[in-house]
Amino acid sequence: QVQLQESGPGLVKPSETLSLICTISGGSISTYWWTWIRQVPGKGLEWIGYNYNSGTTKYNPSLQSRVTISVDNSKNQFSLSLSSVTAADTAVYYCARPVAGTNDAFDIWGQGTMVTVSS
Amino acid sequence: DIQMTQSPSSLSASIGDRVTITCRASQNIITYLNWYQQKPGKAPRLLIYTTSRLASDVPSRVSGTRSGTEFTLTITNLQPEDFATYYCQQSYNSPFTFGPGTQVDIK
């Protein structure tokens, strides 16, 4: 059974870069649209973007200039990098995998990791 | 971006009740609508995708339908594990966007 696990710093200073890793266990990283989604505590969900097959990427235009999602096939991991963070980026960050054959309905999620942006 | 709205924002129900939650998109999304359940401190769980397809391990008392531009999540015979927040999500166009959520709590 495929499982996802996020890891990374829980505290990031304003203007710095938020970096998270999602480790995939129980399955291969190949041919899926590996996705990051975030949720401000007590608020709704925001799709950040995806990386497909270590090549095609698509990002939320609201974050496009600051975000990079990369895939490391050798480590069965994918990552999120979000630069120039502000307090508005404080959220729970989830990595997710969509239903096989789709890129847009997410049936496998990590447990989420809380990232706080504060000096 | 496609804006999603949900109604009601919250509801109270009893065990055994039938609950319906409605979701609307700001433009035509055909059938590209998914539903999630989220409990406090947990990741969302996919319930329904492409309007009416049941995700794995989701009981058959959960269903999704569409009437025009209105989408409905129905849960019959409400069980204790169903008390949670429910989100719709459009997958017609990126950025994929979510509704604001409907909280279902115990009456």
| Banded pLDDT at B68 (limits 50, 70, 90) | confident
The CB-side HSE value for B106 (13 A sphere, CA atoms) comes to 6
Chain A positions with Cβ closer than 8 Å to B: 44-47, 58, 60-62, 94, 96, 99, 102-107, 109-112
The answer to whether the CB atoms of A45 and B98 lie below 8 A apart is yes
Residue closest to B91 by CA, chosen among B44, B31, B37, B5: B31
Contact residues, chain A, for B91 at CB < 8 Å: 102-105
Angstroms from A92 CA to nearest CA on chain B: 10
Q: What is the percentage of chain B residues whose pLDDT exceeds 70?
A: 100
Contact residues, chain B, for A100 at CB < 8 Å: none
Per-residue pLDDT of chain A (119 residues; tens, 9 = 90+): 999 999 999 999 999 999 999 999 998 888 889 999 999 988 899 999 999 877 899 999 999 999 999 999 999 999 999 999 999 999 999 999 999 888 789 999 999 999 999 99
Q: What is the pLDDT of residue B28?
A: 93
Chain B positions with Cβ closer than 8 Å to A: 1, 32, 34, 36, 42-46, 49-50, 55-56, 87, 89, 91, 94-101
| Banded pLDDT at B54 (limits 50, 70, 90) | very high
Inter-residue contact B46 to B54 (CB < 8 Å): no
Residue closest to A22 by CA, chosen among A114, A109, A117: A109
The answer to whether the CB atoms of B95 and A60 lie below 8 A apart is yes
For residue A106, the chain B residue with the least C-alpha distance is B46
Inter-residue contact A108 to A1 (CB < 8 Å): no
Angstroms from A17 CA to nearest CA on chain B: 22
Which residue type, as a one-letter code, is found at position A73? Answer: N
Name which of A20-24, A50-54, B1-5, B70-74 the model is least confident about. A50-54
The residue among A4, A38, A43, A45 with the most chain B CBs within 10 A of its CB, best to mutate, is A45
| Banded pLDDT at B76 (limits 50, 70, 90) | very high
The answer to whether the CB atoms of B95 and A61 lie below 8 A apart is yes
Q: What is the pLDDT of residue A82?
A: 98
Is the per-residue pLDDT at B29 higher than 80?
Answer: yes
Q: What is the pLDDT of residue A101?
A: 80
